[in-house]
């Protein structure tokens, strides 16, 4: 018995396809951001792709792209490449060791079934969608104040 028990509402193939699409979208956002920074001359609002605030501080858009697009994209690509370990972790979390909050405090009977099933597929779609939108933030930071 090497396979884990299937979790309700978790389809690893569906979630892997969603993660791949999210990684591709984030890679596209990263490519667009790098192309804009490298090939487009910034407007007079952002000389040398640096955003200046009212107090005189400056922030390079290269740093913003690295933190808000580069690192999240690398993390999502890591999840896609290490998908078997990621699904193993999800199965281990959902396995026998799970105890409901009331049962862990001895306020409830452990033999009672859980009142609901956690919607892993739906939550995964929402998280990857929000992750992809998060990766687009530097592009909006380039477009809105700099042009």
Question: What per-residue confidence (pLDDT) applies to 74?
Answer: 96
Determine the pLDDT at residue 63: 92
pTM of the model: 0.77
* Nearest-angstrom CA–CA distance, 101 and 118: 14
Q: In which element (H, E) is residue 117 found? A: none
Residues of the chain with pLDDT under 50: 1-2, 4
Q: Where are the alpha helices (DSSP H) in the chain?
A: 12-39, 61-65, 71-81, 83-93, 101-104, 120-135, 137-146
Across the strands, what pairs with 60? 50
pLDDT score at 129:
95
Displacement of CA 123 from its chain's centroid (Å): 12
Structure tokens at 103: 């049962």
Q: Nearest Cα to 83, choosing from 2, 12, 5, 35?
A: 12
pLDDT for the residue 1: 39
């Amino acid at each position: 018995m090497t396979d884990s028990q299937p979790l309700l509402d978790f389809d690893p193939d569906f979630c892997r396809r969603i993660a791949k699409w999210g990684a591709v979208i984030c890679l596209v956002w990263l490519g667009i951001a790098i192309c804009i920074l490298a090939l487009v001359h910034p407007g007079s609002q952002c000389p040398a792709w640096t955003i200046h605030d009212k107090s005189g501080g400056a922030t390079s858009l290269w740093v913003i792209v690295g933190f808000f697009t580069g690192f999240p994209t690398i993390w999502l690509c890591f999840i896609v490449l290490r998908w078997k370990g990621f699904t193993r972790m999800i199965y281990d979390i959902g396995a026998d060791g799970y105890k409901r909050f009331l049962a862990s405090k001895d306020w409830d009977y452990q033999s009672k079934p859980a009142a609901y099933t956690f919607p892993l597929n739906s939550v995964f779609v929402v998280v990857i969608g929000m992750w992809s939108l998060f990766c687009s933030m530097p592009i909006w930071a380039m477009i809105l104040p700099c042009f």
